[in-house]
Amino acid sequence: MTAYDELMAFQRQTEALAQVAGRLGWDQETMMPEGAAAQRAEEIGALEAVLHARRTDPRIGDWLAAAEAPDAVARAQLRQIRRSYARAMKVPARLAEEIAATTSLAQGIWAECRSRDDVAGFLPTLRKVVELKRAEGAALAAGGDPYDALVDDYEPGMTGAAIASMFNAMRPRLVSLREKVLGAEAPHGLVGTFGHDDQLALARELATAFGYDWSRGRIDLAVHPFSSGSGHDVRITTRVSETDPFNCFYSTIHEVGHAAYEQGIDPAYALTPIGQGVSMGVHESQSRSYENQLGRSRAFTGWLFGQMREIFGDFGIADEDAFYRAVNRVHPGYIRTEADEVHYNLHIMMRFDLERALIRGDLDVADLEAAWNDRFRADFGVAVDRPANGMLQDVHWSCGLFGYFPTYTLGNVYAGCLVKALRAEVAGLDAMMAKGDVSAATGWLRDRLQRHGALYEPREVVQRACGFEPSEGPLLDYLEAKFGEIYGV
């Protein structure tokens, strides 16, 4: 066996164990009896210890030094291994353990404080997490910008400066669009209740329509929708609100986008370092384009309206046009996860600026709430009414996920580029989607992007798929055109 073969055999077992860890996470959110929580924490801890030992195994360094890559696939495998090994070796074991232990506890404290609107109770924990993540960022950056080093974990090659420049170009256009739209008359919403089982049955149909491969997946209920797993076992979850069926339908389509990416990767890459989505931003580009650019299009919502009328009867919406406006209703609100396409990126931008300032030491944790509330008033035009609707709303920071938020908007930006290219290349898309047939769109995305997994770097894979350099322009053009037309502004 060559050094490369030995390294890949070792890595394959590590990837298999990582899949097991993911499956435990899925089980915890969907199946696990509540009394098993403490034991499960030990089980996951034992498995994470095994994974950490493998990821920092010094033989990886030896193999990497000796390995030769005969082709582009092998070079990409080595690039992925080199990156994760370098990251794992830069963070001292004690710091990694302290981060794991602190964030594990912090999530419970955050949930408790959010339920009581208790900012003061959460601040000491948040301060500790910020300190640890600053230390991790510094260890990873080795003299560079600690926030960049954290971002790089979710979006290799991306920097805080590049994100800031993109976000600064987007913000004025989004604020202006938002103001115009909210000045116009609001569309009608749905009326009535929508049966639990009927919603789930239609959600399954939607998943099928968007190309979800049931032979390698399943759908279950969970508090928060998610997609889990790579390769031949990629499961999704959804949730049901009897008064808000769009929650179930569009979170399902969103998760199908994530899952379709994983399921669409060349099977030859399964259980290898390139056998998974290349970054959070590219992942989000799939879920967002499935959910928004395709799922909330005039064409597809026309088909969905017919399906819903057949199943649920009259729900107070007269026709396809009114339904399209209801699906794409813009409503101001405090909560990121409930935001529409116009507001969503404004939520992300403020989190990005705030967390970057925290990690770079430009903002103290004690001043975060005031900074949040000031920015919210500036961008959204209203005051935050309570911390649970403000700086306590997201779990991310308590999990230590600094550098993660911007990948959501990056995903939207990439989705804007991809769907622009898709529409330029595939004729008759809307006519097909109007009949519920999304296969031309999902097939194009699979062929152009999904199948490559992590073969190419994030920006590179998007650029190859689109045929042009990705930028925020297509997303903004799309949003202004779509909502300008819906609201007549």
Active site residues: 255
Q: Measure CA 188 to chain center.
A: 29
- Considering the complex, state which of residue 259 and residue 486 has its C-beta at the smaller distance from a second copy: 259
Only one of the segments 25-33, 91-99, 386-394, 477-485 lies at the binding site for a second copy (rule: CB under 8 A); that segment is 25-33
The alpha helices in 338-451, defined as continuous H runs, are 341-360, 368-380, 406-425, 429-433, 439-448
Judged by CB under 8 A, which of 79, 180, 216, 329 binds a second copy? 216
Length of the chain: 489
Helix (H, G, I), strand (E, B) or coil at 155: coil
Residue 264 C-beta: closest distance to a second copy, Å: 14
- The answer to the question of residue 252 lying near a second copy (CB under 8 A) is no
Task: List the one residue out of 127, 126, 161 whose CA is nearest residue 144.
Answer: 161
Q: What is the CB-side half-sphere exposure of residue 185 using CA atoms within 13 A? A: 4
- The answer to the question of residue 40 lying near a second copy (CB under 8 A) is yes
Give, as ranges, the residues between 259 and 278 that touch a second copy (CB under 8 A). Answer: 270-271
Tokens representing residue 349 in the block: 């931008």
Q: φ and ψ at 423, to 5 degrees?
A: -65, -30
Distance CA 344, CA 351 (A): 11
- The answer to the question of residue 35 lying near a second copy (CB under 8 A) is yes
Contact 324, 301 (CB under 8 A): yes
- The answer to the question of residue 197 lying near a second copy (CB under 8 A) is no
Task: List the one residue out of 355, 330, 477, 329 whose CA is nearest residue 407.
Answer: 355
Cα angle vertex 67, ends 65, 71, to 5°?
135
Judged by CB under 8 A, which of 98, 117, 205, 233 binds a second copy? 233
- Considering the complex, state which of residue 66 and residue 268 has its C-beta at the smaller distance from a second copy: 268
Residue 87 C-beta: closest distance to a second copy, Å: 22
Judged by CB under 8 A, which of 173, 180, 232, 331 binds a second copy? 232
Only one of the segments 32-40, 75-83, 129-137, 306-314 lies at the binding site for a second copy (rule: CB under 8 A); that segment is 32-40
- The answer to the question of residue 93 lying near a second copy (CB under 8 A) is no
Distance CA 241, CA 203 (A): 13
- Considering the complex, state which of residue 39 and residue 241 has its C-beta at the smaller distance from a second copy: 39
Site string for a second copy, 300-339 (x = CB under 8 A): ----------------------------------------
Tokens representing residue 320 in the block: 């396809």
- The answer to the question of residue 17 lying near a second copy (CB under 8 A) is yes
- The answer to the question of residue 203 lying near a second copy (CB under 8 A) is no
CA distance to 86, 105, 231, 336, 360, per residue, from 274 (Å): 17, 32, 11, 31, 31
- Considering the complex, state which of residue 51 and residue 162 has its C-beta at the smaller distance from a second copy: 51
As a dihedral over the C-alpha atoms of residue 484, residue 409, residue 393, residue 172, rounded to 10 degrees, the angle is -50
- The answer to the question of residue 399 lying near a second copy (CB under 8 A) is no
- The answer to the question of residue 161 lying near a second copy (CB under 8 A) is no
Q: Which residues bind a second copy (CB under 8 A)?
A: 12-14, 16-17, 19-20, 23-24, 27, 31-36, 38-40, 42-43, 45-47, 49-50, 213-218, 231-233, 235, 270-271
